[in-house]
Chain A
Amino acid sequence: MTTTHTGERLVDFDEVLTRYEPVIGLETHVELGTASKMFCGCTTTFGAEPNTQTCPVCLGLPGSLPVANAAAIEHTIRIGLALGCRIATWSRFARKNYFYPDIPKGFQTSQYDEPLCTAGHLDVEVDGETYRVEIERVHLEEDTGKNLHVGGATGRIHGADHSLVDFNRAGIPLVEIVTRPIPGTGAKAPEVARAYVTELREIVQALGASDVRMEQGSLRCDVNTSLAPIGSLEWGTRTETKNVNSLRSVERSVRYEMRRQAAVLDAGGRVLQETRHFHEDTGSTSPGRSKEEATDYRYFPEPDLVPLAPDTGWVEKLAADLPELPAARRARLMEEWGLSATEMQWLANAGALGLVTDTVAAGATPGDARKWWLGDLARRANETGVELTELSVTPAQVAELSILVRDGKINDKLARQVLDGVLAGEGGPDEVMTARGLVVMGESDELVAAVEAAIAGAPDVVEKVRGGKVAALGALVGSVMKATRGKADAATVKRMLEERLLAE
């Protein structure tokens, strides 16, 4: 049991699992990458000047009428198909009524009991174990505007107790993907949650439906967590953590909620069904706006939009045009690159599949690409606490490095020093190699001298080799490598030694 700086009591994670079983659930919002908004022709560019991408429709001005964006409907169906969903033959939009200034019409155009896609699933893998996540529904709605709170509860600025609203984002097509509750994940609950969002993001990206940039909010997650005593037939009360905007945060928010809820239950208390906010800096959650009557959305069918009735031909065409999905791609690459399942999972989780693909495309062998990214580069990323994708070396440079080794211009040891230079910003492999003078020694006079010095300096070893103990040659190779400070090519040195000691 620990207590946070805010006085929240938390049970240690491992201890939580001795008494409780978690059930998680995820609601993921994906902003579609369409050129225009869901119901009007306004552009959707991220980061535009406030209120420069609005019109009477997305501002909800009287008399304006929405017309649904065909591309958004197709993206939603494609996401549904990729998740193995049933595609509705009849689907309607509905008004979700609530009072909040991020929505100019007083309601959000969403879908209620007739979503476009239902009953799918997504298999995710954590530590070699496959977890099936059931998908409840995939529906289409519109995004809200952005509120900027000025002053507010914590601000002390006189007269600044108000909000400023930018409606550029209002009306951008938003797909909501809702899982069914996911039981049976135990200690892996935080990682399963993360793996699910990771896989979903990969799929949406592969479909080209969105740029899925969590840091820009084009993929956002609400994470539901509940705990029930082990063996209990009923699930516990869930909390919904919002504002979870990175893959790492998805994992942390589940972990935190499990620890917090266990402390509440241990103390004989009851977990409140509430919305909680995730805090990136502390990894903690705090109660958000109480849901109270806000759940009373008074949904009703949107009278301004006619129903959607995707026919079989349309859906079949979309299904036929689906690209290779990430799971299939991984299986194929695993085979092509000769990776183990663990290595593949690790690469996928590190978001580094693209790096290896690009390295191979730039001329490296799959084996070399794998060796560098999973070996030295992974170690360096780990040491400096960055992601593989953040290392300052490009796939083309890694390929170049591997080709230099393959051509015998440098050996592995020198290659690592070249890599040091590249990572330190000294230029590409070729430049670093030249600048640092890191070139493998040919059969130069210097190398011949070093080989002969090694033979002369270890008569006992020479005796053993000549007497048939060829393995002892290794000691001589080692001393030559040492004398040349690693610049010699070990295979060349071995051959030269063999020529001198075993030729007769």
Chain B
Amino acid sequence: MEFRRSMSTPSAHDALGRDEIAHLATLSRLALTDEELDRFAGQLGAVLDAVAQVGEADVADVDPMTHAVPLTNVLREDVATPSLPRDVVLAGAPAAEDDRFRVPRILGEE
């Protein structure tokens, strides 16, 4: 139930407000200025409007599709395969230290 609600596509008149953009920015740990909030609200609104056209289709007789491919139970055997060498893994990291990925401290963390 809850899933459907959170998945439902906002309709065109549900335009994204500035507050919603600010909330999403916080969740994504993005620091946006007031000016950016206004700009992105407009841009994301336009994107959602475009997607909202789907809502115009008549789907009364169409079952919800659960997946793009009609398959279930695609599984692999529990068999270990080689991992990547660590130097290769860490070579892709912006920063590494003590054989680990080095990341900035997360805001508000103890």
Chain A interface residues (CB < 8 Å from chain B): 34-36, 40-43, 49-56, 59, 61, 67-73, 92, 94, 97-101, 112-114, 148-149, 151-153, 161-167, 288-290, 293, 296, 298-301, 303, 305-310
Contact = CB atoms under 8 A, between A and B. Distances in A.
A113 B1 contact: yes
B13 interface: no
Interface of B: 1-3, 6-7, 23, 26-29, 66-69, 71-84, 86, 89-90, 92, 97-106, 108-110
B110 A152 contact: yes
B80 A36 contact: yes
A477 to B, nearest CB: 65
B110 A289 contact: yes
B105 A53 contact: no
Contacts of A42: 80-81, 83
Contacts of B89: 51, 54, 59, 167
B8 to A, nearest CB: 11
Contact of B83 (A52, A113, A162, A306): A52
Given A56-B84, A309-B72, A162 B67 contact: no
A280 B75 CA distance: 40
B80 A149 contact: no
A54 to B, nearest CB: 5
B78 A49 contact: no
Contact of B101 (A114, A153, A167): A167
A136 B2 CA distance: 16
A163 B68 CA distance: 39
Nearest to B70: A306
Q: Which 9 A-B pairs have the closest CB atoms?
A: A41-B81, A71-B78, A164-B100, A70-B75, A309-B72, A165-B101, A101-B103, A113-B3, A67-B76
Given A165-B100, A308-B73, A43 B1 contact: no
A43 B69 contact: no
A165 B103 contact: yes
A67 B75 contact: yes
Contact of B67 (A50, A61, A165, A306): A306
A305 B75 CA distance: 10
A99 B29 contact: yes
Contacts of B92: 61
A102 to B, nearest CB: 10
Scoring A167, A300, A306 by chain B CB atoms within 10 A of each residue's CB, the highest score goes to: A306
Contacts of A54: 83-84, 89
B77 A50 contact: no
21 contacts: A35-B80, A43-B80, A43-B83, A51-B86, A51-B100, A54-B83, A55-B81, A55-B84, A67-B74, A68-B74, A112-B3, A114-B3, A164-B97, A164-B102, A164-B103, A165-B101, A167-B101, A290-B108, A293-B27, A303-B67, A306-B72
Contacts of A43: 80, 83
Contacts of A293: 23, 26-27
Scoring B27, B69, B98 by chain A CB atoms within 10 A of each residue's CB, the highest score goes to: B27
A476 B80 CA distance: 72
Contacts of A68: 74-76
A161 B110 CA distance: 11
A44 to B, nearest CB: 8
Contacts of A307: 66-67, 72
Contacts of B98: 50, 164
Scoring B3, B68, B78, B106 by chain A CB atoms within 10 A of each residue's CB, the highest score goes to: B78
A65 to B, nearest CB: 10
Nearest to A59: B89
B103 A162 contact: yes
Contacts of A56: 84
Nearest to A164: B100
Given A55-B83, A166-B100, A300-B6, A72 B105 contact: no
A116 B77 CA distance: 19
Contact of A163 (B6, B75, B86, B106): B106
Nearest to A294: B27
Given A55-B83, A101-B101, A289-B108, A301 B78 contact: no
A488 to B, nearest CB: 62
A99 B27 contact: yes
Contacts of A167: 89, 101
Contacts of A36: 78-81
Contact of A69 (B67, B75, B84): B75
Given A50-B98, A72-B78, A166-B100, A289 B2 contact: no
Given A162-B104, A163-B106, A306-B71, A69 B66 contact: no
Scoring A41, A51, A67, A308 by chain B CB atoms within 10 A of each residue's CB, the highest score goes to: A51
B26 A162 contact: no
A149 to B, nearest CB: 7
A340 B60 CA distance: 64
Contacts of B28: 99
A77 to B, nearest CB: 12
B100 A73 contact: no
A113 B99 contact: no
A164 B101 contact: yes
A289 B109 CA distance: 6
